[in-house]
């Protein structure tokens, strides 16, 4: 009778080990599936990172080109502003000289009036 009881205990333990092995197998399968998903995710993330780096490099090139163009335009605008300042100064001096020479005839008065209105 003792050998039968021992055999039943061993059989019960074996059944428990088999059940635990089945549970462990399911968990390992889930882990492998998760590992595959993680590998796919990492591959997609790497691809997205490469695209982002390429895009940023393109944006940087465009920004550098725009910056250089903006500097050129700013330089040209400053030169034009300086030239306009000289022209305004020359016009003011000419106007002052014309006012000082005030002709007595009507045509000269009309010219002076037109110059004053042009300011």
- Count of residues for the chain? 119
The residue-averaged pLDDT of 97-107 equals 66
Q: Are 116 and 91 in contact (CB under 8 A)?
A: no
Mean pLDDT in the chain? Answer: 87
DSSP code of 61?
H
Handedness of CA 22, 28, 31, 33 (dihedral sign): negative
The rounded distance, in Å, linking the Cα atoms of 48 and 43 is 9
**Count of structural domains, the chain:** 1
User: Looking at the predicted structure, is the pLDDT value of residue 93 above 70?
Assistant: yes
Of 109, 89, 90, residue with least CA distance to 99: 109
Among 11-25, 58-72, 105-119, the minimum mean pLDDT is found in: 105-119
pLDDT at res. 14: 95
Is the Cβ–Cβ distance between 86 and 80 less than 8 Å? Answer: no
| Terminal C-alpha separation, the chain | 128
Using the structure block, give the residue that is written with the tokens 């920004």.
Answer: 63
The pTM of this model reads 0.44
> What is the domain range of residue 33?
2-118
């Amino acid at each position: 009778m003792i050998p039968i009881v021992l055999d039943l205990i061993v059989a019960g333990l074996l059944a428990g080990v088999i059940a635990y092995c089945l549970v462990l197998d399911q968990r390992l399968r889930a882990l492998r599936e998760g590992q595959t998903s993680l590998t796919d995710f990492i591959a997609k993330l790497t691809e997205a990172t490469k695209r982002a780096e390429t895009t940023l490099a393109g944006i940087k090139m465009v920004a550098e080109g725009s910056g250089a163009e903006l500097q050129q335009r700013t330089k040209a605008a400053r030169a034009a502003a300086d030239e306009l300042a000289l022209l305004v100064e020359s016009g003011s001096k000419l106007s002052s000289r014309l006012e000082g020479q005030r002709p007595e005839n009507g045509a000269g008065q009309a010219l002076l009036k037109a110059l004053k209105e042009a300011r």
